[in-house]
Amino acid sequence: MVSQSIIEIKKLFYRYEKDTVLENINLTVPNGSFLAIVGPNGSGKSTLLKLILGLLKPQKGEIRLFEQDINKFSDWQQIGYVSQKANSFNTGFPATVFEVVSSGLTKKIGLFHFFKKVHNQKVHDALESVGMGKYSNRNIGELSGGQQQRVFIARALVSEPKLLILDEPTVGVDVENVNAFYHMLADLNQKRGITLLLVTHDIGTISDKVTHVACLNKRLHFHGDTSEFEKHQIEGMSELYGTDVHLLAHHHDHGGAFE
């Protein structure tokens, strides 16, 4: 059965010792969506990811994964995760791209022991899906930050998860490659049907690639689809700058006069 909501969070609170860092979070991630969680440093983004990954337990509230209470959930293979630490990978590490991606299959290696061909094909497919098919034999240390990040995403994808979670994935990516990087993520979402959740500062670049946006700063200040988000931003700006912003948005909607 296909789950309709991949993540469902209700009335979630979290505090480290005394300080509450997440307050009354309600968030749904529908199957097939691409959600960006944006917020300043210290706003609770990493804490929220750790709760979703089961690494922390909330003091209050509920988290459901694939329509199951997180405390009963065991099918962690459905969830791929690329941490921020992937960016600070030791580039002197002597491993090929193929080996790095293969390491994502270690849990299944018993199964594939006699099926080397299947194993190789899975690694190849994962690399193709992030545009790195030609780099299989290269040493990971020879690649640029953006290429390495793609390889780490391939490693998370090789066990074919339905949900991929990325923590600040563009930190090591050159500015001129960020757009292509987000484009690759949008392809994973649209062509392969993988539900994506990413944490970022980059709302400007990403807002036309994602389907949903959540703005976090201890509480969720906004959560909705991208068209609602644009409307929300325009309303926020017009409170600051007056009604001209509405006019500008109007022109933009009807013929791209400012493009």
Smallest gap from Cβ 21 to ligand ADP, in A, equals 4
Q: Among residues 3 and 47, whose Cβ is nearest to ligand ADP?
A: 47
Residue 132, token pair as written in the block = 């790195």
Residue 236, token pair as written in the block = 């926020």
- Between CA 159 and CA 254 the distance in angstroms is 44
Choose, by CB under 6 A, the member of 3, 43, 170, 189 that binds ligand ADP.
43
Q: Among residues 122 and 218, whose Cβ is nearest to ligand ADP?
A: 218
Asked if 42 touches ligand ADP (CB under 6 A), the answer is: yes
Asked if 87 touches ligand ADP (CB under 6 A), the answer is: no
Q: Which 3 state secondary structure label does DSSP give 212? A: strand
Phi, psi (rounded to 5 degrees) for 108: -100, 5
Smallest gap from Cβ 74 to ligand ADP, in A, equals 25
Burial of 214 (0-12, 13-18, 19+ CB in 10 A): buried
Asked if 248 touches ligand ADP (CB under 6 A), the answer is: no
By CB under 6 A, the count of residues binding ligand ADP is 10
Phi, psi (rounded to 5 degrees) for 84: -60, -30
Q: Which residues in 62-76 are b (16+ Cβ under 10 Å) and which e?
A: ebbbbeeebeebeee
Which residues in 1-40 contact ligand ADP (CB under 6 A)? 16, 21, 39
Asked if 41 touches ligand ADP (CB under 6 A), the answer is: yes
Asked if 80 touches ligand ADP (CB under 6 A), the answer is: no
Smallest gap from Cβ 49 to ligand ADP, in A, equals 8
Choose, by CB under 6 A, the member of 6, 25, 33, 47 that binds ligand ADP.
47
Structure-token match 């993988």, residue found:
194
- Between CA 118 and CA 112 the distance in angstroms is 7
- What does the binding site for ligand ADP look like in residue numbers (CB under 6 A)? 16, 21, 39, 41-47
